[in-house]
Amino acid sequence: MDRKNHPRSTRNSRREKKKHIFTKKIAFASILGVSFILICGGVYATYAVQHKHDEVNEVEEDNQYEEKETALLEKIRKAQKQEVLESSEQEKIDGNIQTLIYEPVATDIIPQLPEIKTELTALIEATKKNSSKETPIKIIGRVKADKINEQVIGYLPAVDTYTWDQEKEDWSEKTEVGKNTAYVNKKTKQPLTLQDIFLSEANILAVQQVVQQKLLDESSDGNAIIDAVLNMPNLSLDKTTFTYYSDKISLNLPDNSTGKNEITLPYKDIAGYVNPEFVDASFIKDVLPAPLDPNKKYISLTFDDGPNPETTPRLLDILKEKGVKATFFMLGQNVVKHESLVQRVAQEGHEVASHSYSHPQLTGLDAQRVKDEVQKTDKAIYHAIGKLPTDFRPPYGAVNKDVAAIIGKPIIQWSVDSQDWQSHNAQAIIKRIDDTAYNDTIVLMHDIHPETVDAVATVIDHLRGEGYEILPSKELLGKKAKPLHMYYGSKDERPVQ
């Protein structure tokens, strides 16, 4: 019998085959199960290791942050203790924002302290508002002291902001200071005043002249605003407000129609009129001319009443040939008629100054007439050469305190009178100057007289033969003559009485 075809044999064969398949499935499932367990175990182990590593990193980062936070606070407090301005600390903590405020202990040394504290509070609040609430921040509010010189110290609010930089693992720093600095006179412990800086009304009037010229220079058309400039009320030591800087000063101008309400002057432009104790010396050093050599002799030649088209050009030729610079005190009415001649005087290096408009005795006029005589001449000279005259010689030398205040310029008198107006004789003029000249004097002549021009070349030769160096009056006076004072020489200065 064929076994292959037997029914029982066939069934057994199928049963064995199924059993074999089942066994294989069991084995495969077991392998999968073991693999899954191994994989899960590996994943868990990896997670556990990584988690443990992250925990270690977090601890390390926390420790590093705390160390740097401690170091920062120590640095801040140490720096504050080293400040000249002793202060007390106030601490405030709001979430991640820690604020340290340092207030001066001695409040009497800063009269403006309430204003400084108000601005400091505003700076701190603005910093908080603009800062992230999620990042650690240290805000340090303090009063910063800046020593300008031995007499002036400035105080201003300052805010230092330290923000934690997670990537760099360190603090970033930013400093913001207030807009207003409170300057204090260290000697008086009072706010700095214009009296401290300029000392006298005469000096502030001299500064007024600089202001006027600067307004004209900065204008697109000076002639259009000349009246507004000349009629601007005077600056005042007690009423003019200002902003002080180490190298310059900004002055708030009185109400005027120039379109300007403030002007800034570098100290080098007003060096002759500032108190050097209250200004950084480096900004005015070497600005003023060196003092005259005490071992030399100096004299100044001045000419009144011109310009005259018949005589002044010839005088200019002689001065040019001799290499001499002089001062011309001009009448406004002649300036108007001979502008080109005024321009030549200025271009050749001579000083153009004012001698009034029509040569009246100013002490016999009312205030408005005096003002007109001065301003009309100022306008005429400015129109001719673009510069206002800074020095003034009153006709006949007649001046008093009221007139000097209206003039608002240094009064340049004379100490040697050539009497050319009287003699009209060249030899007499030469002899008069030879007999009366002495060191540090100002010689009076008139360029409208032909005899004076005839005498000038010999006068110069004789003076030089006697060892004199001839200078314009402004240079003889050191470029620092001031209003309300009159000058007969660099060592003969008198307040106008």
**432 by DSSP, 3-state: which?**
helix
- Token representation of residue 85: 């301005």
Please say whether the dihedral angle defined by the alpha carbons of residues 336, 338, 340 and 342, taken in this order, is positive or negative. negative
- Token representation of residue 332: 């406004």
Measured over all CA atoms, what is the biggest interatomic distance in the chain, rounded to whole angstroms? 180
Catalytic residue among 160, 196, 269, 304: 304
Phi, psi for 58 (deg, rounded to 5): -60, -40
Which residue from 281, 275, 279, 342 is spatially nearest to 308, judged by alpha carbons? 342
Q: How far apart are CA 383 and CA 361, in angstroms?
A: 25
Catalytic residue among 350, 355, 446, 485: 446
146 touches 181 (CB < 8 A): yes
Phi, psi for 313 (deg, rounded to 5): -60, -40
Instruction: Provide the β-strand partners of residue 487.
Output: 412, 493
| Residue burial 146-166, b: 16+ Cβ < 10 Å; e: rest | eebeebbbbbbbbbbbbbbee
Q: How far apart are CA 301 and CA 479, in angstroms?
A: 16
Q: Is 29 exposed, middle or buried (0-12, 13-18, 19+ CB in 10 A)?
A: exposed
**486 by DSSP, 3-state: which?**
strand
- Token representation of residue 150: 């031995």
Q: How far apart are CA 96 and CA 94, in angstroms?
A: 6
Q: Give the CA dihedral 36, 42, 48, 53, nearest 10 degrees.
A: -150
Which residue from 197, 318, 218, 297 is spatially nearest to 263, judged by alpha carbons? 218
Q: How far apart are CA 469 and CA 474, in angstroms?
A: 14
Q: How far apart are CA 62 and CA 60, in angstroms?
A: 5
Residue 446 annotated as catalytic:
yes
Identify whether 307 is preceded by a cis peptide bond (ω within 30 of 0).
yes
Q: Which amino acid is at 419?
A: Q
What residues have CB less than 8 Å from 154, skipping those under 6 apart? 145, 146, 147, 148, 181, 182, 183, 184, 244
How many CB atoms within 10 Å of residue 344? 16
Instruction: Provide the β-strand partners of residue 167.
Output: none
- Give catalytic residue positions: 304, 446
